Amino acid sequence: MRKLKAARRPEIVGAAVELAAERGPAAVSMRSVAARLGLTPMALYGYFRGKDDLLDAVACHLMGLLPEPGAELPPLERLRRLAGGLRDLARAHPALAGLLFTAGASAADEALVVTDRWYAALLDAGVPAADVPRLERLLTTFVAGFVLSEVEGRFAAARRAARSRRARFAPADLPGHHRLGTRLDPDVAWDTEFGDDLTALLGVVEAAALRDS
């Protein structure tokens, strides 16, 4: 396997971040990034093996921006801050949020460091070691699903559809919707909902710790 150069990698990643933020990840290509830097596409292949490799580097750059809660904080507060930090990062870079959860990014060394923060907090909370990987997946999958639904507009689209379309169906066709009725209409305070959902999941963490005490 050929050895890749490193000197201009941060500059190239920065250009890819700017391009993706302006026009979306689909606009990132070796050619478009090279053009932004005044380079030839072949020059970039000295630093990255291709577009996927470059996008993985962008995801790793983003993971490096995640805050690290202090070890002096209570474990459940560290978990809350880890979740909130991931959500804040995704909302600050909505066009790039999906890159944080790709297979390539998940396999990166930076992902190991981030995951270790979750593991350490769960262990310090008293969760049995056998349950830690499962609960880390539960928490991070919740955050991923919530923030992607939030930044990509799925929540808003679903609410608009519920408001404009459910009246066209008989109660027997959409019994759940019709039983909820106007409860589906009020605007949602997403910060509050995220916090409430996270609190419920942290209750699962506390329960797991209590079972081992």
pLDDT of residue 124: 97
Helices (H), the chain: 9-23, 30-37, 41-44, 51-63, 75-92, 103-106, 109-124, 132-151, 154-165, 175-180, 190-211
For residue 2, is it left (φ>0), alpha (ψ between -120 and 50) or beta?
beta
pLDDT of residue 1: 45
Per-residue pLDDT tens listing for the chain (213 residues): 445 677 788 999 999 999 988 888 888 899 999 999 998 989 889 889 888 888 888 888 888 889 899 999 999 999 999 999 999 999 988 888 888 887 667 767 888 899 999 999 999 999 999 999 999 999 999 999 999 998 888 777 666 656 667 778 888 988 888 888 777 777 788 999 999 999 999 999 999 999 866
Q: Mind listing the domains of the chain with CATH numbers? A: 74-210 (1.10.357.10)
The model carries a pTM of 0.85
pLDDT of residue 132: 97
Distance between CA 86 and CA 82 in Å, rounded?
A: 6
